[in-house]
Structure 1
C-alpha cells in the first residue's frame, strides 16, 4: 500500500519530539569547553518550529577572557545540521550591540530561516566569533522542526538508475511596506543511485527585494566504493589542528586506492563584505575580504586499525574581492602542515597524536613577515565493558594560527579527562574535568588565565519507564598578572549549572519537560561603594529556564503539538529581572485522507525586562493557517495566510501589525 510522505514524517516526528526536548534540557549548558567565552544559556524559540518559518536563538554569553569586547567587534552565529549531523548551512551573523567587560555577560538574539523542506530531528551549534576566531563553540544541540505536508511519490525507475525526490516552490508576502516585503523559496531534494552509486542533491534558494537570488543551501554528493565528491556547502574534517569545524562552500573529492585515501578541498570560507558607510561617508563597520581555502590530505590505513596521514592547508584572503575595507583591515595568508597518527590495534585502547606547524602573514599587500609556531595534541580512549575513559592533552603555541580550524585558541594548553559507566538498558553516569592555561610565554602585557571545568551527568533509561537525566557543572576562571607577587586575581568568576529532564511516551501522548538553573558569580568588585558594601558585582546573575512539550495523536487524522519555553534572568546587583516566555502550538487535521490537510499553528512571545539601563516590555503574537490539497501523489498545492502583531509597551512607535499570505506548490518525481 502506498504511504504518504507527510504521514511518515509526522510519525517519525512524534517518536523523536519528546526525546529531543528532553535532551535540550539535559545537555544544553553542560557542553562546556575551556574557551575565551562561555554560553550561559542557549534557548531556541519557538521549539518546535514549523518548516519555512524563522526560529530565534536567545543566547547569554560570558566574557571569560582578560580583555574587554568592544561594541560590534563580536558576532553570534548558528550552524544547522541534519539528523545525521551533516552540515547544512548557517544563520546570518549578529554583532554585539554593547561593550562587554571581562567577566561581563551579554544577551544576543540571532534568527535562522528554516527551509520549507525541513522536518524532524535536526541539530545546531552556536559560535561566538571575534576577528574570525571562535571564542566559544557549543556542542550539538537538538532542534525539532515540524514538517510541512509534502507527498513523496512512488518511484519506479529503470533498473540501473534510481532517482526520486521532491521540489517545492514557495511564495510569501506581508502587508507592511505595501506588500513589497516578499520572500520566495525554491527547494529541491533528490536521492537516488546511478549504477549502485549513491547520489544526493539538496538545493534551497532565497529571493527577497534586497537580494533577488541567494543560493542559501546547496549540496551535490556522489559516493562510490573508490571515489566520492561533494559540491556546495561542506565542512571538511582533516584534523582538529589544521582543518575542522569550518563551514565553507566549494568542492571536496575523495579518492580511495587500496590503503590510501586522498582528500582535496577547494572552497570559500568567508564571503566578501564591503565596509559600511553612513550618509556622510564615515565608516561605521569594517569590511572583510573573501577567504579561500585549498587543502589536501593523504591518509594511509595500516593493518589492525592503525593509520597515518599528512595534510596541507592554505587559507588566503583575496585582496581584490572588496573595494572599501575599512580601518586597519589587511589580507591574511595562513599555511598549516599537519601529521596525524592513530594506533587502534590494542584491544582496549586507541591512541591518537596530531602535530601541526603554521606560517602566518597578517598583511600580504605590504609583505609582512610570516610568524611560525607549532601545535600538538595527544589523546587516549579506552573502553572495557560498560566502563570508558578518555584523556587529552593539547598545546597550541603563542604564534600558531589555523584559519581552517577556527575553534583552535592559540597560546594555550588544554588538559581533558572524562570517564563514564553505562548500559543502554539502564542508563549512564559520566564525569569530566577540563583545564586550560594561557599566556604560555608570560607576556607581561597579558594576564595568565586558568579555566577549570568540572561536570557530572547521569541518565536513567529503564525500559517502559520515563527517561530521566540530571547534570551538574562548575566553570571556574581566574586570572593573574604575570609579575604578580600577592596572588590577587584580576579575573575571578564562577558559573554553577544544574540541569534536569524527564520524557515519557505513550502511543497517543508524548511529553517531556526540562529545567536548567545557572548562577554566575564575579568575585572582582568594581571600585564602587555599593558593590563592595553588598559584596555583589554588577555582573552577578541567576538564570532559570524551562521547557515543556506535549504531542497528542488523536487517531490517524489529528495531531497536536504544544510547547512552552520560559526564561528568567535576575541581576543580583540591582535585582532587575528579564523574563521571556514563548508558547507555541501546531494542529494538523486530515480533513480528507490523502487529499486535504488543514494546518494551524502559532506562537506568542512575551518579554518583560525591568533593567535600569535597557528596559523592555514587548509582546509578539504570530498565527498562521494553511490548507493543502493533493491533486495526485506527485502534485500538491498549498494556500495560507497569517497575522503578526508586535506590541512595544515602552516605545509604542516600535509596535506594528501586519498580515501575510503564502502559497506553495509541491512536486514529486
Structure 2
C-alpha cells in the first residue's frame, strides 16, 4: 500500500463516553500536486481532516474517495471516480487523518483545467465533502489546429508503456478516444480512456457516450444524474440514463453502479457493490409551475464479494426512496423548490422483518437580480430516512443553508454563506445532541481589469449540548492572486487553517498551504511552466510537524518546419513527519522526456523515456529507481 503523503500528526487515547454522537469531520486543507500536471501522468489529491466528532473512526469503517470533473462552459461534467483508500489507522476524536488519492490524467484531456472533490465515507455515510478544487493539465503534444466547423471527426490514440520494475514486466496499453458526430437529425459525443494489462485486458477508466436525438438524450458510462435534492443528487455512477421532454411531459430514467465492490482486507471490512435505479416523471402544469414524482431503489449485491469468515459485520442493505417535487417561479426573480420524500430501509436484506420507514423534506427559495442573488433552504431529515442516491443527505438532521452574493460592480463581488445543523431530532437520551455551523465570507477583486484577487474566511464550529462532551472550532483563511503578463500567467495561493478544542480533550492543530505556479510563452517555439505546492501541519501540544513539498517544471520546444516537438518535465517531491506515532522522511525525483513527430496533419507519433527515484530515509529497503518507456500513435479525422 502506498504511503500517505500527509500522515497522521497526532492521536489521543480513546476515552469511554456515556453518550453517543454523530460522526463529524473538519477539513484542514485539500490540494492537488503537482500543479500543473502533465497529461498522462498521476496527480495526487492530498487531503487532511480532523475528527471533530465524539466517536472513534475505527479502521475498516471509513474510506476516502474522490471525483474528477471537466469544465464545460459555465458547468461541470463528471468524468470519473478515483480508487478508494481505506487507511489502516483508527482515528480518535480530535486526531488528524491524511490521505493521498491518485488520479492518472488521461492524455486526451491535455490543455484543460480539471476540478475535483474528495469525500470521506464513514459507515456508508458521507461525513465530509470538500468544495470543488482545480488543477491545470499541460499539453503534451504538438497538434495541428482542427477547424471548428467540422461535423464528424475525432481523435484516437494508442499508447504502450513499460517500466523496469520486475525486469520490464509491466506492459501496459492505453486506448483513448474523443469522437463527435452526427447521424441524420441526431448527434453524439464519445469519450473513453481504457487501460490494458496482462491480468486485466480491459479496464475502462473513463467512458461516456452521449447520444442526442429528437426522441431524447441517452447517456452511457460515467454519469452523475440528478432527480431531486433528497432522492438522488451529487452521486457519480457508471450506468445508463435516458432523458426525454415532449410538450408538458418530461421523463428521466437511470440505472447504474454507485459503489464498487471491495474484498475484505487488513484495512477494510469490505464493501458490496451497490446498484441503483431511478425514475422521475414531470408535468408542466403552468409555465411557472412544474410538479414531478420520483422513485429510487438502491441495493447491495451480496454476491459481489467473498465472505469467508463470520467475523465480518457488513450486511447487504437496501433502500427505496419515493416522493414529490415541485418547482414554482414567481414574481420574475423568485423560485421555490419543494421536495418531500419517503424511504423504506433494510439494514440487512437477508434478515426477516419489514423495512424501516422514514421521511424528509426540503424547502429552497432563490432570488436572482442584477446586483445580488440570494438562496435559503431549510430541510429536516428523519432519523430513519436513508437515501443512498444522495450521500450528502444524512439522517437525523435539521439543516439551515443560506447564501448571498453581491455584485456592486463588474470588478468586485462579495459572497456570504451559512450552513448549520442540529441532530438527535427525537431527543434520544442515549445520544448527544450536536450543533454544528459553518460560516464563509468571500470577496473577488479585479484590479485594472487584469489582476484577480480572491480572499475568504471560513469558521466551522461543533458543540455538543451536553456539557464537556464536544466543543471545537476550525478557522480557515484563503488568499489567491492571478496575474496575466502578456502571454504569461502567474498565480499564487495561501491558506491558513487552525483547529482548536475548547475543552482541551484534543490536540490543537495549525496547518498552512502555499501554492505557486506560472506559465510562460517565450516565443512561438518555446514555452515553460512551473508549479510549487507546499503544506505544513503542526501539533500545538506535542510540537510534532508534518511537511509536504512538490515542485514541478516543464519545457516544450517546437520545430514546426520538421513537424517535431521536444518536451521535458520533472517533479521533486518530499514528505517529512516527526510524529512519534507515524514518523516519515521520504522523497522522490521524476524526470521524463518525449519527442513528438507529426507525420501528417492527421497522424503523429510520440516516443518517451523517463524514470523515478524514490528514497526513504527511515527505511532504506524501500528505496527504488524505476525507468520507463512509452510510445504513442495518434490519429485525428
> What is the TM-score normalised by the length of structure 1?
0.88
User: Aligned-residue CA RMSD in angstroms?
Assistant: 2.0
Aligned in 2, Cα 1:594/1:431: closer, same or farther, shift over 3 Å?
A: farther
Q: How many residues align?
A: 610
Contact 1:585–1:603 (8 Å) recurs in 2: yes
- The 5 A counterparts of 1:58-73 are 58-73=46-61
Match of 1:231 among 220, 230, 234: 220
CA distance in 1: counterparts of 2:137 and 2:275, whole angstroms: 33
Aligned in 2, Cα 1:614/1:318: closer, same or farther, shift over 3 Å?
A: closer
- The runs of 5 or more residues in structure 2 that have no matched partner are 1-21
Q: Post-superposition shift, 1:233?
A: 1.2
Match of 1:75 among 50, 56, 63: 63
Give the match for residue 413 of structure 1. Answer: 398
Match of 1:396 among 342, 357, 381: 381
Give the match for residue 126 of structure 1. Answer: 118
CA distance in 2: counterparts of 1:151 and 1:329, whole angstroms: 51
CA distance in 2: counterparts of 1:449 and 1:210, whole angstroms: 49
Contact 2:343–2:359 (8 Å) recurs in 1: yes
CA distance in 2: counterparts of 1:156 and 1:607, whole angstroms: 45
Q: Post-superposition shift, 1:315?
A: 0.8
Q: Does 1:96 align with 2:94?
A: no
Q: Does 1:105 align with 2:88?
A: no
- The runs of 5 or more residues in structure 1 that have no matched partner are 1-33, 277-282, 482-487, 527-536
Q: Post-superposition shift, 1:63?
A: 1.6
- The 5 A counterparts of 1:473-484 are 473-481=458-466
Aligned in 2, Cα 1:156/1:412: closer, same or farther, shift over 3 Å?
A: closer
Q: Post-superposition shift, 1:196?
A: 4.2
- The 5 A counterparts of 1:106-505 are 106-119=97-110, 120-149=112-141, 151=143, 154=146, 162-276=151-265, 285-324=268-307, 327-423=312-408, 425-481=410-466, 488-505=467-484
Give the match for residue 19 of structure 2. Answer: none
Contact 1:357–1:372 (8 Å) recurs in 2: yes
Aligned in 2, Cα 1:153/1:635: closer, same or farther, shift over 3 Å?
A: farther
Q: Post-superposition shift, 1:384?
A: 3.2
Aligned in 2, Cα 1:444/1:116: closer, same or farther, shift over 3 Å?
A: same
CA distance in 2: counterparts of 1:594 and 1:382, whole angstroms: 58
- CA deviation map 1:106-165 (0-9, x unaligned): 1111111111111211111111112321111122211211122164675799xxx93211
Match of 2:617 among 627, 649, 666: 649
- CA deviation map 1:477-519 (0-9, x unaligned): 11134xxxxxx23011101111111111022321011100011
Tell me, what secondary structure is at the counterpart of 2:166? helix
Aligned in 2, Cα 1:35/1:629: closer, same or farther, shift over 3 Å?
A: farther
Give the match for residue 486 of structure 2. Answer: 507
Give the match for residue 31 of structure 2. Answer: 43
Aligned in 2, Cα 1:248/1:150: closer, same or farther, shift over 3 Å?
A: farther
CA distance in 2: counterparts of 1:597 and 1:449, whole angstroms: 59
- CA deviation map 1:155-196 (0-9, x unaligned): 799xxx932111111121111111112332111110122224
Q: Does 1:633 align with 2:601?
A: yes
Match of 2:567 among 599, 602, 606: 599
> What is the TM-score normalised by the length of structure 2?
0.92
Q: Return 499-508 or 589-598, whichever deviates more.
A: 589-598
Contact 1:206–1:216 (8 Å) recurs in 2: yes
Q: Post-superposition shift, 1:472?
A: 0.7
Tell me, what secondary structure is at the counterpart of 2:548? strand
Contact 2:26–2:474 (8 Å) recurs in 1: no
Tell me, what secondary structure is at the counterpart of 1:117? helix
Aligned in 2, Cα 1:145/1:302: closer, same or farther, shift over 3 Å?
A: farther
Q: Post-superposition shift, 1:424?
A: 6.3
Q: Post-superposition shift, 1:252?
A: 0.6
Aligned in 2, Cα 1:593/1:38: closer, same or farther, shift over 3 Å?
A: farther
CA distance in 2: counterparts of 1:325 and 1:97, whole angstroms: 21
Aligned in 2, Cα 1:424/1:122: closer, same or farther, shift over 3 Å?
A: farther
CA distance in 2: counterparts of 1:177 and 1:419, whole angstroms: 57
CA distance in 1: counterparts of 2:172 and 2:473, whole angstroms: 45
Q: Does 1:664 align with 2:632?
A: yes
Aligned in 2, Cα 1:284/1:557: closer, same or farther, shift over 3 Å?
A: closer
